[in-house]
Amino acid sequence: MLVVAAALPVVGALALAIAVREGAAVLPADLSEAGDRLSRDARQVVGEAAIGLAGVLGGAPRPTMPPSAVVVPPTIPVLPTAPAAPRLSRGTMPGAPRRLLAGGCCPGAWWSADSATVLYIDRPAGAPVTALYGVDAWPPGAQGRVVDREIGRVPGAMSLRVEPQGNVSVVRDSISGERWTLPTDGNPLLLSPDGARAVWWEATGGRADVDGLNRVWTAAARGGEPVELASLWGLRVVEFLPDSIHVLVLGRPFRERPLYSLLRLNTLDGDMVELARGEWLAEPLLSPDGRWVAYLTSLDRANPTRNGVWLAPTQTDSYGAARKLDVVGAYRWRTGSTLAYVPFGLDVEGQELWQLDADTGATRLLLAADLGIRIAGNDWSISPDGGSMAWLDERERDLWLVDLP
């Protein structure tokens, strides 16, 4: 069991734990003090990441606690997992891509919770505002329609809308009409799946998000006294786990190193468990059942074999259970613990889609290159029921769909 003295700030405690594990001989005198920004060399590394990964991930890696001690308990209870989405009953044509919208489209290839509608953001000629549009996945030939003129929906509770107003965020229940405020200072906000808790974190934009010692707070979702939970360099909250208590947090324990830690944070008592660690760790993605998180590490020049896509279990009480996959490419979760991925390659004919079972490691080819699928950037998604994939075509910018075997 790892116990860090309560007098040490959380960011310092985590840094100390990592330094001890890595056999570091020298530690910064005070890791919580402000220092110089990332070096020019580090900024160059970020630029190289943007160039090297643009074809696979559609952009650069995102360089995207009251307790002041990190205590790893000897055991942890099994966390509740999200129920599997039911397979939608609809006409399917596995392996036969079909165009949903023609004429060039717009950002987005997301799904409604019931897997019946593909969502995208658009502002057609003559439309007064940008809005959230949807097109039915079945039957073929459906037309796009406005499904929501408000883009301020908050992940976790679909009926809630949020609008930053000065030092607070105004939350509105679109069903009851009730309104209330949270003291977020205009920062990003996440709500738990059960709608009971809210978390927000400092994100002022630009280099400050990467270089700053960012803090995260929590409060009851419908108002309450906020409690500061954590602080890490470049911290951001990734997502709530299905238990509506824990969140995934990404940040750096050392200011001057691009070493990122992915942690599970308890929003009730501030306890943290480190799940993964890596140079420029980015793109964390939680599995639908909440048992696994996939992530990417890159530009580890000292240990290049560590670069790649990894899987780490979320229901663990200690660091070290993550494993590297024999995968280089973009990834999405399909259902449960099944990871779908598009391997990086230069095949001019088309891209392949594979799936991997996180529990067994077994892989399976779902869509072959001869189907001619070409995804624009990283604009693709798998329906919640796991039955279909939608994507934005890189050639004509049309929205396409294919049912999966």
pLDDT per position as a tens digit, 137-176: 888 778 888 876 555 444 545 577 778 888 898 888 878 8
pLDDT(398) > 70: yes
Query: How far apart are alpha carbons 401 and 405 in whole angstroms?
Result: 13
Please, what is the Cα angle at 274 between 272 and 279, to 5 degrees? Answer: 135
Burial class (CB in 10 A: 0-12, 13-18, 19+), 394: middle
Query: How far apart are alpha carbons 137 and 390 in whole angstroms?
Result: 9
Query: How far apart are alpha carbons 227 and 270 in whole angstroms?
Result: 10
60 compared with 84, residue with greater pLDDT: 84
236 compared with 157, residue with greater pLDDT: 236
Q: Is 57 helix (H, G, I), strand (E, B) or coil?
A: helix
pLDDT at 366: 96
pLDDT at 347: 64
pLDDT at 92: 62
pLDDT at 79: 54
Work out whether the CA dihedral 106, 110, 114, 116 comes out positive or negative. Answer: positive
Domain ranges of the chain: 10-403
1 compared with 242, residue with greater pLDDT: 242
Tell me if the domain spanning 10-403 has CATH number 1.10.287. no
- How crowded is residue 278: how many other Cβ atoms within 10 Å of its Cβ? 23
pLDDT(195) > 80: yes
pLDDT at 220: 94
pLDDT at 11: 53
Mean pLDDT, all residues of the chain: 77
pLDDT at 84: 56
